[in-house]
Amino acid sequence: MSLVETPLMKSLARYLDVTAYRQGVVAANIANIDTPGYRTNDINFKQELDKALQAPDAPVTPSPQQVPGLLERPDGNNVNLDREGLLLAQTQLHFATGVALLRSELKRISMAIQEDKA
């Protein structure tokens, strides 16, 4: 472990990676809201985060899966605008939380460095 990189920072970086990936999946669902036959995709957030945390140096490679139990329209598309809109806002806030935590962690380290100057 290096002096300025704490385990928490590493975990937060992985958290941000998985959150950003999920946001991309949601964007794809919204983009395909009128594509006949398109099925809603999503990732299992907890599972993918666990996977990312267990292999801290491997690239984040979540596997999106079709979401079951959604109402299908006659054209075979099952994208629900409410679900995606909510998820978009939710994921954005998750990301903001991760960024805020990461910044506070960096500030703490910076404080420790500056301590002798006080």
Partner 1 sequence: MNLFGMMEISASALGAERIRAEVVTSNLANAESTRTSEGGPYQRREVVFAAQRPSFALSLASAGPAARDAASTGVRVREVVNDPAPALVKYEPSHPDANADGYVAYPNVNPVSEMADLMGAARAYEMNVSAITAAKQMIQQSIEILK
What is the contact surface with partner 1 in residues (CB under 8 A)?
Answer: 16, 20-21, 23-28, 30-36, 38, 41, 43, 59-64, 81, 84-85, 88-89, 91-92, 95-96, 99, 102-103, 106
Minimum distance between the CB of residue 28 and partner 1, rounded to whole angstroms?
A: 5
- In angstroms, the Cα distances linking 54 to 3, 19, 96 are 21, 16, 23
For residues 75 and 37, is the Cβ–Cβ distance under 8 A?
A: yes
> Minimal distance in Å, beta carbon 43 to partner 1?
8
Q: Which is nearer to partner 1, 52 or 116 (CB)?
A: 52
Radius of gyration of the chain (CA): 19
